[in-house]
Structure 1
Amino acid sequence: MNRNHSPSLPSPPPLHWAWFVWGLGAFFYLLAFFQRVAPAVMTGELMRDFDIGAGALGNLSAYYFYSYVAMQIPTGVLADRWGPRRLLSTGALVAALGTALFALAPTVVWAGLGRLLIGGSVAVAFVGLLKLTNSWFPPHQFAMVSGVTLCCGMVGAVSAGTPLRLLMDHFEWRTIMLVMAGVTLLVAVVLRLLVKDHPHEKGFADWIPPGSAAGGGAGTGMLAGVVQVFGYRNTWLLFVIPAGVVGTVLTFAGLWGVPYLSTHYPMSAARAALLTSTVLITMALGGLLFGWLSDRLARRKAVYLGGVAVALGAWTVALLVPGLPFPILLTALVVAGFFSGTMIISFAFAKESVPAHLAGTISGVINMGVMIGPMVLQPVVGAILDRNWQGATADGIRLYDLSCYQTGFGIMLAWMLLSLVLLAFTRETNCRQF
């Protein structure tokens, strides 16, 4: 204990305790990301088992995002009222049930219902984790820990890439998903027993005084809180901006990248999955670096703007220039993923743009905006593929020509360009709380 503190006064939590509590929630977030991108390496099996085309597959994958988006504002308010322990453990329990339903689904309708339950339940993971970060870490480390959070999520996404594809060479996808349901159930129990909402519950001093961000939101009604956060210009802009960035990443790496690469480049599905996983890995690393850099420079807008500009250029090369040599394709995807990681700044940027007691609500609102991107783009790209399909198939699976993909990918890039333009109108916070 610091010699300047009275023995009767507790100290803030040491970092190892903060990371321990954070890590319990982060594992659930890892599982949420696994579920988010798992369909990317199951496209063939799902289309064959449920006898569906690209449009229906896009909708099946997007069921996750439909309920995820719908839950974001309630999740933000519930995070302020319930606290992260209750929120995360309940979410993990429902996610386990949804995963089991998806694994056992006899038809695409039941599979869609399972994805709907999964998306709505894991929707609490990120916002709950942000609340833990806000309570257990010093305020000046919020953006950095948010970057580590994204990195952890990407570990889950990467495990749903090549490792999952290799597992599917030996086991049915249904068996794998049943095992995931069991793991998620175990996580729900651990979260309920071990997570603490605030440091004082373990005998430490709270970083946030009672009645401010830690608890002030509890007295704010759901609608009133949402109305309040949308009274600030940055909320509107940061609601739309990350949707274009994340929508592009998750529509490519989370669904359509593997079939595109494996049919229009000389590579197997496993190698294509490795490439899409590389995009997610580099995005996580970018989020870690740019979150730290933004804190270090005390600048949100400039770092975010530069990152999105570079990412847009790299995505344009990777998606619209056909027949790239492998080293150039790999470089373009690495750069695109890495600089897309700047989207993590959205959460610290938005949190600083509104009063502190609305931290949970603004996190839910921004995460809702983030997920609208893939929610819209995954089925839209699928619909474009089906509309322009020329009738080619292989092993009962539809094959789509290059122009189909380029048209669909063009929609993704247009949204990213809009994000870049809107960033110019955001108001810098200089890393200071409103």
Structure 2
Amino acid sequence: MLNSQPSRRFLQLRWTAFIIVGLAYVLSFFHRFAPAAISSDLQLAFNTTGASLGGLAATYFYVYTVMQIPTGVLADTLGPRRVVAIGGVIAGIGSVLFGLADTLAVASIGRLLVGLGVSVSFICMLKLNAVWFHDRHFATATGATILLGNLGSVLAAAPLAWALGFVSWRTVFVIAGALSLVLAGLAWGWVRDHPGEAGLPSLRELDGKASHPKHAGHWYDGLLIVLKNRMTWPGLWVNMGLAGSLFAFGGLWAVPFLRDVYGMDRAAATDHTTWLLAGFAIGAFFIGTLSDRLGRRKPVMFAGALTYCLCWLPLLFGVPLGALAGYVLFFVMGLAAPSFTLSWSCAKEVNPPALSGMATSVVNVGAFLGTAIMQPLVGWAIDRAHAGSVSPLGLADYQAGIAIMLGFSLMSLIAIAFIRETYCKYSNA
């Protein structure tokens, strides 16, 4: 029971870490999706093609992808506090540089630094969730993390479009950089890596059980254990298809698609992405909670992935969308997409508890590798379809891009069949 003075201290430290690192995660989501709302501003400022714009936006995802496994190693060795603080400083510098950039090359460097800095927040958050919450509540805590993080994606849609009526996009990113630096300082001073660091017992000890054993070998021995476990890998493909297509679409191509195919202005298009991302935030929380309560992972994951795939069909064929129908479609699409979040729980649960950071980081590579591939690939497909045409962009130009994202989504649906059902507990517990 968490009712003694040490237990109250435990709760205080748990929620302090959750809020501070969670706010850093909010900023990572903001940076992930903001290019969609300012795509036309970026094209005007840097005179870019669709492929170049996709490449600029994807710079964030390239470095984010590369950093996932190193972040897992750092979270399991240095600890989340130090990693989040250093990442916040790097992201802050990158955001300011992006906001002040006068060329595409400088903007790309700024975007790369942002991606490098914020790439650590989520894996560190999962590591903190693994030590500050019960195993049986991990998916729920992770869903709450996604719900909190998605405040950033919501802010990057309609609220950002509204703010751009008063300040330039450059000012927005300078302010975001300053916030990153503030959160870095708070993380360094207030976050604790685990209860033992504050002289407190772990949750398992409070339940009268032995703590999970620490990893005895070198970090690369632990990484090899994770990489050699064939049950780690299916989740990577689930993330690549579901998360990758969602981030590529919601983070860059949704607003231009709605503008060019359905004739929406920026405000109406960003309203749709707001509903998409709000659905994602709500779905992530309830999917995790539903899975924990049912004690199952795969059925919930499969149902969500199938629904998400079906949502692409009206967009692929340009089915006319009234205002209400469009909002409902985008909301349901967002609600179903976070079924991929359960793959993090599965990856953690089929590997030793001490290696949870590495296990989740390997799977999480898929989300950002998929986005890094799809954002410029979709842009290339659009440019290729429109090559030589003097007419405005339309459905025929976007169909190949939508088909690419649907194809990746279907790949995830197949990959779910290869995930091991963990019944919401460690396989070696």
Instruction: Tell whether the 8 Å contact from 1:30 to 1:155 is kept in structure 2 after alignment.
Output: yes
Counterpart position of 1:221: 219
Structure 2 residue identity aligned to 1:423: I
Gap change, CA 1:78 and 1:211, over 3 Å in 2: farther
The answer for the alignment partner of 2:200 in structure 1 is: 204
Match of 1:259 in 2: 256
Matching of residue 334 in structure 1 with residue 331 in structure 2: yes
Pair 13,292 (structure 1): closer, same or farther in 2 beyond 3 Å: farther
- Structure 2 contact 252–375 (Cα < 8 Å) conserved: yes
Instruction: For structure 2, list consecutive stretches of 5 or more residues without a partner in the other structure.
Output: none
Distance 1:257 1:358 in 2: 37
Structure 1 segment 12-161 matched on structure 2, within 5 A: 14-161=10-157
d(CA) in 1 for partners of 2:204, 2:186? 25
- Once the two structures are TM-superposed, the CA of residue 215 in structure 1 deviates from its matched residue by 4.3
Kept in 1, the 8 Å contact 2:244–2:366? The answer is no
Partner of 2:306: 309
Q: How does 1:240-389 map onto structure 2 within 5 Å?
A: 240-389=237-386
Between 352-361 and 258-267, the greater mean CA deviation after superposition: 258-267
AA matched with 1:50: F
C-alpha distance in structure 2 between counterparts of 1:90 and 1:225, whole Å: 24
Contact 1:390-1:400 within 8 A present in 2 as well: no
> Distance between the aligned counterparts of 2:399 and 2:25, measured in 1?
32
Instruction: Indicate yes or no: 2:159 matched with 1:163.
Output: yes
Q: TM-score, normalised by structure 2?
A: 0.93
CA–CA separation in structure 2 for the residues paired with 1:226 and 1:59: 31
Instruction: Decide whether the 8 Å contact of 2:33 with 2:250 is kept in 1.
Output: yes
1: distance between equivalents of 2:2 and 2:370?
47
Letter in 1 for 2:398: Y
Q: Percent identity?
A: 36
How far, CA to CA, are the matches of 2:160 and 2:318 in structure 1? 29
- Deviation for aligned residue 1:50: 0.6
Does the Cα contact within 8 Å between 2:143 and 2:285 map onto a contact in 1?
yes
Q: What is the rounded CA distance, in whole Å, between the counterparts of 2:234 and 2:132 in structure 1? A: 28
* More divergent stretch after superposition (198-207 vs 408-417): 198-207
Offset of residue 402 of structure 1: 1.0
State the shift of 1:266 in Å: 3.8
**What is the CA distance between 1:232 and its match in structure 2?**
2.2
Question: Which residue is equivalent to 1:179?
Answer: 175
Q: Contact 2:77–2:219 (CA<8 Å) still a contact in 1?
A: no
How far off is 1:19 after superposition?
2.0
The CA deviation at 1:342 is: 1.3
- CA RMSD of the aligned region, Å? 2.2
Structure 1 CA distance for aligned equivalents of residues 54 and 210 of structure 2: 44
TM-score w.r.t. length of structure 1: 0.92
Give distance in 2, aligned partners of 1:214 and 1:120.
Answer: 31
Q: CA deviation at 1:16?
A: 4.8
Shift of residue 13, structure 1, vs aligned partner: 5.6
More moved, 382-391 vs 208-217: 208-217
Tell me the equivalent position of 1:421. 414
Match of 1:407 in 2: 400
* Secondary structure of the corresponding residue to residue 216 of structure 1: coil
Where do 5+ consecutive residues of structure 1 fail to align? none
CA offset at residue 391 of structure 1?
5.9
1:318–1:221 distance in 2 versus 1, CA, 3 Å = same
Aligned-partner Cα distance in 1 for 2:96–2:10 = 38
CA distance in 1, matches of 2:211, 2:236: 24
Select between 169-178 and 146-155 the one with higher mean Cα deviation: 169-178
Contact 2:283/2:335 (8 A) holds in 1: yes
CA distance in 2, matches of 1:31, 1:211: 37
Q: Deviations over 1:256-290 (max 9, x none)?
A: 10111122224220111111121111011111011
